[in-house]
Structure 1
Amino acid sequence: MSAGDGGVLHLPGDSALHRLAPQIKLLAAFGVVLCVVATPRAAFWAFGGFALLLGALAAVARIPPGWLARRLLIELPFVVLALVLPFALGGERTEVAGLALSVPGLLAAWNILAKGTLGLFCSLTLAATTSPRELLLGLQRLRTPTTLIMISSLMLRYVGVVIGEAGRMRLARISRGDSPRFLWQANATARGVGTLFLRCYERGERVHLAMVARGWSGELPEPNEPRQVTRGQEVRNWLLGLSPAATSAVIAGVAVWTS
């Protein structure tokens, strides 16, 4: 995967998280997100613990806070939904800053914001410390079905292709006096989207034929990298890498027990 090996979310580095095997990071991230989702929404202290844990991991990986903050803005639609819930839901009411708000709505809004933000934070940390190629390699080592890995691989490679093709088509329209900003040109925009789909489909067919002609068997070959760690070091890496998931499990377990 040479074209998009860096990825738009990957931050190259040499931290302990960057050097960790991708399959360990995938399992750890899945475990942390699962614990966050399983935590009762009223256990406010637990979400603070999760935030401190993820913040420490981001600091270890030397991920800039501004980089994370800008990409967390993708959850703005969910924030808007959360802000509406205290006014839309019924049940017991409480007064906040002179407004009568629904208590179940406040808890539901908190649940969406806290769990959604922490889950996205964890995903961004994983993406920042793991390149797309490493993610696919980790999935392969975890015995993920080959079909899913191939779909993910082609999807990652094709994102840049589609964006580039769409940019060239837009530039061609503008050079011919068209401006896609106006509402009355929506028909031309729709036709352009259809043309983009056909071009991408035809290019995908050509790529598939080229892969078959070069002996593609349907499986991604794992690179023959020399083994650089001993069995004992590998065990320590697993224990160290899964420690965030274990810590999250303890926090979630205590939260469930005391709720």
Structure 2
Amino acid sequence: MNNSLHLDRESPIHRLSPEVKIVAVLLFTVIVVVTPREEFAAFAGYAVLIAIVAALARVPAGWLLKRATIELPFVLLAVVLPFAGHGEQVEWLGMSLSVEGLYGAWNIVAKGTLGVLASLLLAATTTTRDLIIGLDRLRCPDVITQIMTFMVRYLDVLADDARRMRIARLARGYDPRFLWQVKAFAVGIGALFLRSYERGERVYLAMLSRGYAGRMPVTVGAPAPAREWVLSAALPVASAGIAVTALLA
């Protein structure tokens, strides 16, 4: 399965092992989330760190901003908060806005945007397969990594099955478009589920016949060296320094 979010570039960030990037992004996100919403300077510093990593990874700003629109539903929710909040009010352009709602909206937009951008950078610099390898090296439960592995391998197969079923339905002159015609769509989903379940049973039996004992064979290289852990620590350490400096100031 192709990772539509991965950018095949040559950069220092791309060359890092997946597990160090996963840990760095996770720690950065945690620091962003626990930062008090009133520390505006800290969030500006986090944005600068994201920009530096994007430049090192050769990920265009336009590419990031375009895909960051996935958070628009949360932004729309944030827009409502200043009007729906209670407590102290401020006047702006003839409108009465809640101070608490403004802080809540800022909190959602700032932390959500930084988290989305960090995740997009991780996806842009790491293939789906490498992400699963990184989770496996980080001792993520086997059942989770195996489910993700099979999802990566068979999602294209399921999408192709769904496409062929739709073409067959159209060839028979039936193209449901309205709510009262949803039965055909539901029947198709049910048939696709049964096909997927039967395929999973066959794959599992085939794996057992080849010696599967609850864990996939390890075919990846050695884990990340200490040098890469040190390099990847630059992002969470810098963000922690920004947070501490902002709190002390």
- What TM-score range do you get, normalising by the shorter chain? over 0.9
Contact kept in structure 1, 2:82 and 2:97, CA below 8 Å? yes
Q: Which runs of 5+ in 1 are unaligned?
A: none
Pairing partner for 1:82 from 78, 84, 90 = 78
TM-score of the pair, normalised by structure 1 = 0.89
Report the aligned-residue RMSD.
1.9
Q: Provide the secondary structure at the position in 2 that maps to 1:11.
A: coil
Pairing partner for 1:59 from 52, 55, 59 = 55
Aligned equivalents of 1:73, 1:153: Cα separation in 2: 27
Deviation at 1:202, TM superposition (A): 1.5
Aligned equivalents of 2:158, 2:101: Cα separation in 1: 41
User: 1:102-121 residue pairs with structure 2 within 5 A?
Assistant: 102-121=98-117
1:24 corresponds to: 20
2:3 corresponds to: 7
Pairing partner for 2:133 from 126, 131, 137 = 137
Contact kept in structure 1, 2:43 and 2:110, CA below 8 Å? yes
1:220 corresponds to: 216
Aligned equivalents of 1:130, 1:173: Cα separation in 2: 38
1:253 corresponds to: 244
2:92 corresponds to: 96
Contact kept in structure 1, 2:39 and 2:246, CA below 8 Å? yes
Deviations 1:205-237 (A, max 9, x none): 122122222222222333264x799xxxx3322
Pair 1:179 & 2:170 matched:
no
Aligned equivalents of 1:38, 1:157: Cα separation in 2: 36
Contact kept in structure 2, 1:31 and 1:245, CA below 8 Å? yes
2:233 corresponds to: 242
Over 3 Å counting, the alpha-carbon distance change for 1:207 and 1:236 in structure 2 is same
Contact kept in structure 2, 1:40 and 1:255, CA below 8 Å? no
Contact kept in structure 2, 1:18 and 1:130, CA below 8 Å? yes
Deviation at 1:248, TM superposition (A): 0.9
Pairing partner for 2:149 from 144, 150, 153 = 153
TM-score of the pair, normalised by structure 2 = 0.93
Pairing partner for 2:205 from 191, 204, 209 = 209
- Return the letter of the residue paired with 1:112: I
- Return the letter of the residue paired with 2:209: A
Deviations 1:22-81 (A, max 9, x none): 111011011110111011111111111111111111111111223222221111111111
- Return the letter of the residue paired with 2:16: L
User: Taking every aligned residue pair, what percent have the same amino acid on both sides?
Assistant: 51
